[in-house]
Amino acid sequence: MRCRIHGGLSPGAPRGEKNGNLALGTTSSDFVNATLVQIQNASRMPSGGISETSVNAVLALIEAAEPKNEIKAALAIQMACTHAVAMAVLSRAGGAYGGDRHVALLAAAGARLLRAFAAQVEAMRRLRNGGTQVIRVERIEVSDTAQAIIGNVNLQRQ
pLDDT digits (tens, 9 = 90+) for 114-149: 999 999 999 999 888 887 777 787 777 778 888 777
146, part of any domain: no
User: pTM for the complete prediction?
Assistant: 0.68
The domain tally of the chain equals 1
Angle at 121 between CA 117 and CA 122, to 5 degrees: 115
8, part of any domain: no
Report H helices in the chain: 20-23, 29-42, 52-65, 70-94, 99-129
Query: First CA to last CA across the chain, in angstroms?
Result: 70
4, part of any domain: no
Mean predicted confidence (pLDDT) in 145-154: 76
Mean predicted confidence (pLDDT) in 50-72: 91
Range of the domain at 39: 20-129
6, part of any domain: no
**Least confidently predicted of 12-16, 23-27, 58-62, 108-112:** 12-16
46, part of any domain: yes
5, part of any domain: no
Query: What single-letter amino acid sits at 42?
Result: A
34, part of any domain: yes
Mean predicted confidence (pLDDT) in 25-54: 87
**Least confidently predicted of 2-6, 55-59, 112-116:** 2-6
